[in-house]
Chains A and B, each alone.
Chain A
Amino acid sequence: MNILTNPKKLRGFERHLKVENVSRRSILKGLGIAGGFALAAPVMSRPAFAAYETGASKMPHGTVVDPRVFVSIAPDGIVTIVGHRAEMGTGVRTSLPLIVAEEMEADWSRVRVQQAPGNEAKYGNQDTDGSRSTRHYLMPMRQIGASARSMLEAAAAKRWGVPATEVKARNHEVVHAASGRKLGFGELAADAAKESVPGIEGLKLKDPKDFRYLGKGQIGIVDLRDITVGKAHYGADIRLPGMKYAVIARPPVTGGKVKSFDATEAMKVSGVEKVLEVKGWPWPSKFQPLGGVAVIARNTGAAIKGRDALKIVWDDGANGKYDSVAYRASLEEAARKPGLVVRKEGDADAALKSADMVITGEYYVPHLAHVSMEPPVAVADVKGDKCEIWAPVQSAGGTREDVAKTLGIPEANVTVNVTLLGGGFGRKSKCDFAIEAALLSKELGAPVKVQWTREDDVRNGFLHTVSLERIEAGLDKSGKVIAWRHRSVAPTIASTFAAGAKHEAPFELGMGLIDNPFEIANLQCENPEAAAHTRIGWFRAVSNIPRAFAVQSMVAEIASATKRDPKDMLLELIGSPRLVNLSSVKDPWNYGEPYSSYPIDTARLRKVVELVADKGGWGRSVPKGHGLGIAVHRSFVSYIATIVEVAIDGKGKLTVPRVDTAIDCGTYVNPERIESQIEGAAIMGLSLAKYGEITFKDGKVQQGNFDDFPVIRMDESPLVTHVYIVPPGPDTPPSGVGEPGVPPFAPALINAIFAATGKRIRSLPIGKQLEA
């Protein structure tokens, strides 16, 4: 990151990269093995070790800590480091290799990053979601780097005939201080490769005070130049000789199928070569394709035009009556009756009955579509019993597994090349589009690219759920909250895996419901049933979106009813600094992390509230028509608080002059990318709050493109977003960054609207509600 010469002129840059008082301490073609040396050594099993325990070992295939897998050094000194997670905009393809480079003392300008294909047995878990990459891989990557460093040092020491303790790797060379001798990494590569890999227990990690890169934020992402010159390769940019272009007409209703079709007109379109029916799986079937009719052409434009000319009669199946208006009413009805109790402390029923005041809020968040800028797309080349895929998938290992299973071939015969992802947001965790390409390539005996149009993306995706959150808060005479009952009703992601799933899974309940951090004597969480009628999937931050919206709106509602400052109210509800006791919860989930390393620490929650209030000028006077709102939420084991300043004009037009966000994500790698994630999260939060709504009628999605499913554009984006990063304690484990910025935004905005206008919005999106 270059620091600007004249920062004053640039909005938001006056404080850019100012991390809160740090009080503690072009891609290579091959893996450098051709002509170089991979660090090689006798195989030894390396148990996962970590200074702090994470959930990484419980993920499929766990972690692999082995420099021979991740690092190679060419004779010219170029160090190649494997990035095994998917790059969708978070910067992970830079951050993880950077950690290795840091520990091994490589000079970043002489490091190349090599994207790993899908192979979890070799690289460890590759499922890039859940904001897990840094928190699961910071320590393994440090260990890999430290291993490589010690092998290089051992090789140099042998060459010079001196004890290894006398030599030290430093900036791409190993130095013997006593004699002043130096050897570059390239010169040592061959010998280092013969050294055995040291055991993790004996590894010496760098002292953080010696870090050159970690936590500093001067490093641009590795793809920066390619992106700016149009040479970065996304899934859509793969071109193979003889490749066919396909688009597919998929059933408009989830679970529907083709009854009959007429391809006569489609075949007349210039460039169209073939029309064929493609196999679909009955719903639900995890990530298997929906089926439909494919148009094969010499280019995508011809395929789309051909598809427009298809005549298809569909059998809509069981979901043909799905209607968002009726469904909302059913959610409301369910939320007004008792449901499955998923957390219970004290006696909320009795306390609500005896309360002096009960405040009830019902908060609605509709279905949302991911609309990653690059719609789903994949290229497949099936030859005999082998299949090669090029695709923007978040889960390369999972894609390999699912494609192999679908084609009935061994996983070893499937190669999944991970391209850059033009956005993911959870959509590309599902590999249905890659399976479609594989099936079509097999059928046609040629490489095939399947391109989803934006309309396909909006209408045939795996939507964010639709939810009704009902909260009743009981207050005693003094205004203290003595009872809290939160009912959450929403079709579950589990319904995409198993027919008839009607209760939310622990991983959904654990996103802002059962992990409520408030200090309230009588607290009960319930989950009434809800049936799904479309494919429900992960959307950036998942259930945290509706939960933070409901809980943080309710806090402000209580503040207003009792005439208190919303921030003070929030701190009062969070209560004393403590680790929240979740012993009454059967499966607290906790984002898959051990509670010992990642407890709900209310001191950290309070800290981000206080920090954002201080830096973000909570309580400052704002012009007429403006208002400030605040919200805090812990998700993906990070703590984030946001203040939004909103301005509403006489016609109800809403703008956002300023956003302030404080994040505590523990130990971090690249603060510059944390800022970009938070800046982006504010815009995604504003998009969903202002416009985000997918509706169904007669089983069909009623939206199709950015005209009827708008997202925020530059002219209505926040004028400035400030980010404050809490400096981690010396041993604070890393936590999530990609998703946690989204949940607090909508409630902070809605609370700001209330402050500005007195109007309380409980149903998203805002739409025209301010115009009335």
Chain B
Amino acid sequence: MIKVKINGQEQNWDGDPDLPLLWFLRDEAGLTGTKYGCGQALCGSCTVIIDKQAVRACITSVSDVVGRDVTTIEGLHPTGDHPVQKAWRQLNVPQCGYCQTGQIMQGAALLMDNPKPSHDQIREAMAGNICRCGCYQRIENAVHLASTGV
């Protein structure tokens, strides 16, 4: 039996300890805000925050997160009003929206690390997150907006 802490809540897992955290979150814990896009750390759709760092849940096993704090999009802010989330809504960022939770988590992690990133730093930090709809211009602007106060 493995115990993990997701969004401040203890959860038990009695299955394969190597199960990718992504599928534990989505299929076992019912936290479907974290998305599958590639399974190979290539797209960032599955981004969660672990100990203030953006982490790809698809290549992290459940056993890797024992004793660490996992935050998913559902736990980013109690009312969904994290500055990044607010900036996202202000700029109408999403198209299909599927990549957006991963983008928001990546953006939030970036601002924890660097509260005032330049445009170039944003472009670099967000480059691991693919948006097939192509919302990059707005994502870049929204992260910038969040960093300057919505």
Q: Taking beta carbons and an 8 Å cutoff, which residues of A are in contact with B? A: 1-2, 4, 6, 9-13, 87-91, 220-221, 223-225, 227-234, 236-237, 239, 245, 269-271, 298-302, 304-305, 371-375, 420-425, 451, 453-454, 672, 676-677, 679-684, 705-707, 711-718, 720-721
Contact = CB atoms under 8 A, between A and B. Distances in A.
A420 B96 contact: yes
Interface in B27-46: 27-28, 30-40, 42-43, 45
Closest 8 CB pairs of A and B: A230-B33, A422-B98, A683-B134, A301-B23, A89-B96, A680-B134, A89-B95, A230-B73
B27 A423 contact: no
A236 B26 CA distance: 9
Nearest to A704: B40
B89 interface: yes
Determine chain A's interface SS by DSSP, over half rule.
Answer: loop
Nearest to A718: B137
A229 B137 contact: no
Interface of B: 15-16, 19-20, 22-24, 26-28, 30-40, 42-43, 45, 72-74, 80, 85, 88-92, 94-101, 104, 119, 122-124, 126-141, 144-145, 148
Given A300-B27, A423-B133, A224 B72 contact: no
Given A88-B96, A301-B27, A11 B130 contact: no
28 contacts: A1-B92, A9-B148, A89-B96, A221-B92, A224-B89, A225-B80, A228-B94, A229-B80, A239-B32, A271-B16, A298-B15, A302-B23, A373-B45, A374-B35, A374-B96, A375-B36, A422-B35, A422-B98, A423-B98, A676-B95, A681-B134, A684-B132, A684-B134, A706-B38, A707-B40, A713-B127, A714-B136, A717-B136
Contact of B131 (A13, A91, A373, A705): A373
The CB with the most chain A CB atoms within 10 A, among B19, B22, B122, is that of B19
Contacts of B88: 228
Max chain B CB contacts within 10 Å: which of A6, A9, A423?
Answer: A423
B80 A227 contact: no
Contacts of B134: 679-684, 712, 717
Given A236-B32, A454-B39, A705-B40, A680 B135 contact: yes
Most buried by A among B28, B73, B95, B100: B95
Contact of B130 (A229, A300, A677, A711): A711
Which of B20, B36, B104, B132: most chain A Cβ within 10 A? B132
A706 B19 CA distance: 22
Contacts of A374: 35, 37, 96, 98
Contact of A225 (B26, B73, B89): B89
Contact of A299 (B19, B91, B132, B138): B19
Nearest to B145: A10
Residue picked from A239, A454, A711, most chain B C-beta under 10 Å: A454
B100 A227 contact: yes
B95 A236 contact: no
Nearest to B32: A237
Interface centre among B22, B24, B104, B141 (most CB of A within 10 A): B141
